[in-house]
Amino acid sequence: MVQHCNGRFTAYDLPPPSYDPLLTQVDKGTPAGELLRRYWHPVLKASDLDAEPRPVRALGEDLVLFRSGEGEIGAFHARCAHRGADLRFGRVEPRGLRCCYHGWLFDARGRCLEQPCEPDGGRLRDRVRQPSYPARELYGLVFIYMGPLDQMPALPRYDVLETLAPNQEIRADDTSIGSGGPAIMPCNWFQAFENVMDPYHVFVLHSTFSTVQFSELLAVRPDISFAKTPGGVASTQVRRMRNGEDFVRVVEVLLPTVRISPHPAFTTPGPCTNISWYLPIDSTHTRIFTALRVPKWMPKFNFSEIPVYEGKSWFDMTEEERRRSPGDFEAQVGQGPITFHSEENLATSDAGVALLRRLYLADVQRVRDGVAPTNVRLDEGPAHAVAAGHTFHPSAETARTQAP
Considering beta carbons, is residue 80 or 185 the nearer one to ligand FES?
Answer: 80
Considering beta carbons, is residue 37 or 259 the nearer one to Fe ion?
Answer: 259
The residues binding ligand FES (CB under 6 A) are: 80, 82-85, 99, 101-104
Q: Which does 85 bind (CB under 5 to 8 A by kind): Fe ion, ligand FES, none?
A: ligand FES
Considering beta carbons, is residue 76 or 309 the nearer one to ligand FES?
Answer: 76
To ligand FES, the closest distance from the beta carbon of 101 in angstroms equals: 4
Please state, in angstroms and rounded to a whole number, the distance separating the CA atoms of residues 237 and 214: 16
Q: CA angle at residue 57 from 56 to 62, to 5 degrees? A: 95
Please state, in angstroms and rounded to a whole number, the distance separating the CA atoms of residues 264 and 267: 6
To ligand FES, the closest distance from the beta carbon of 109 in angstroms equals: 17
Q: Please name the helix (run of DSSP H) or strand (run of DSSP E) that holds residue 136, with its range, or none.
A: strand 135-138
To ligand FES, the closest distance from the beta carbon of 25 in angstroms equals: 31
Q: How many alpha carbons lie under 13 Å from residue 128 in its C-beta half-sphere?
A: 17
Q: Which of 83, 86, 44, 47 is nearest to 65 (CA)?
A: 44
Q: Which does 366 bind (CB under 5 to 8 A by kind): ligand FES, Fe ion, none?
A: none
Q: Which does 83 bind (CB under 5 to 8 A by kind): ligand FES, Fe ion, none?
A: ligand FES
The residues binding Fe ion (CB under 5 A) are: 328
To ligand FES, the closest distance from the beta carbon of 390 in angstroms equals: 53
Q: Which does 383 bind (CB under 5 to 8 A by kind): Fe ion, ligand FES, none?
A: none
To ligand FES, the closest distance from the beta carbon of 83 in angstroms equals: 4
Q: Which does 209 bind (CB under 5 to 8 A by kind): Fe ion, ligand FES, none?
A: none
Per the DSSP assignment, residues forming a β-bridge with 171 are: 292
Give the count of beta carbons closer than 10 Å to the beta carbon of residue 51: 10
Considering beta carbons, is residue 115 or 325 the nearer one to ligand FES?
Answer: 115
Q: Which does 82 bind (CB under 5 to 8 A by kind): ligand FES, Fe ion, none?
A: ligand FES
Considering beta carbons, is residue 104 or 203 the nearer one to ligand FES?
Answer: 104
To Fe ion, the closest distance from the beta carbon of 226 in angstroms equals: 17
Considering beta carbons, is residue 30 or 130 the nearer one to ligand FES?
Answer: 130
Please state, in angstroms and rounded to a whole number, the distance separating the CA atoms of residues 96 and 72: 9
Considering beta carbons, is residue 82 or 95 the nearer one to ligand FES?
Answer: 82
Instruction: Provide the Cα torsion 30, 34, 35, 38; round to 10°.
Output: 170
Q: Which does 328 bind (CB under 5 to 8 A by kind): Fe ion, ligand FES, none?
A: Fe ion
Peptide bond into 256 cis (omega under 30): yes
**Size (the chain), residues:** 404
* Eight-state DSSP code of residue 339: -
To ligand FES, the closest distance from the beta carbon of 134 in angstroms equals: 22
Q: Which does 148 bind (CB under 5 to 8 A by kind): ligand FES, Fe ion, none?
A: none
Write phi, then psi, for 92 (nearest 5 degrees).
-80, 130
Considering beta carbons, is residue 107 or 328 the nearer one to Fe ion?
Answer: 328
Q: Which of 256, 272, 357 is nearest to 40 (CA)?
A: 256
To Fe ion, the closest distance from the beta carbon of 179 in angstroms equals: 6
Considering beta carbons, is residue 107 or 194 the nearer one to ligand FES?
Answer: 107
Please state, in angstroms and rounded to a whole number, the distance separating the CA atoms of residues 389 and 399: 22
To ligand FES, the closest distance from the beta carbon of 74 in angstroms equals: 15
SS3 138: strand
Q: Taking the alpha carbons of 164, 157, 291, 145 in that order, is the dihedral positive or negative?
A: negative
SS3 185: strand
Considering beta carbons, is residue 98 or 259 the nearer one to ligand FES?
Answer: 98
Q: Which does 45 bind (CB under 5 to 8 A by kind): Fe ion, ligand FES, none?
A: none
To ligand FES, the closest distance from the beta carbon of 131 in angstroms equals: 13
State the DSSP string of 35-95.
HHTTSEEEEEEGGG-SSS-EEEEETTEEEEEEE-TTS-EEEEESB-TTT--BGGGSEEETT
Q: Which does 233 bind (CB under 5 to 8 A by kind): ligand FES, Fe ion, none?
A: none
